[in-house]
Structure 1
Amino acid sequence: MSLVHAIDTPARQKPLTAAMLRDLSTRSDRQGALRTLSHYAAIAVTGALIWLVSSRAGVVWALPLILIQGFLVAFLFMAVHETAHKTAFKSRVLNILVGYASGFVIALPYDYYCLFHWEHHRHTQDPDKDPELIVGPKPRNETQLAIAYSGLRQLAGRVVLMLGHALTGKVTVPWVPENKRAAVVREARCYVAGYALLLIASAALHTALLLWIWVLPLLLGQLILRPYLYAEHTGCDSTRSAFQNTRTTYTTAFMHWFAWNMPYHVEHHAYPSVPFHALSRLNRIVDGDIVHRGAGYVAVTRETRAWFRARFGRA
Structure 2
Amino acid sequence: MAVSALLAMTLAAQPASPVAQPSSPDPALDQSIAPDQPVAAEPAVLDAGHVDLGPRYVDDEWTLLIHDDAATPVWRDPDRTVLQVTAAALRAVPDDPTYGFLGVPAGTDVHVVPQVQHPGVVWVGWNTQDPRVMQTIDRGVTLELTDVDGPGEVVMYLQDGTFSEPQVLWRSTEPPGQPMWVEVNTHTHANWVFTAPGVYLIAVRASADLVGGERVSATRHLRFAVGDATSTDEALAAQPGEVAALPPAGSDDAASADDVGGTGPWPVIGLVVVAVVLAGALVVVVLRGRAVRRRVEQERAGS
The interval holding the TM-score normalised by the smaller chain is: under 0.3
More helix by share: 1
More strand by share: 2
Higher relative contact order (CA 8 A, sep 6+): 1
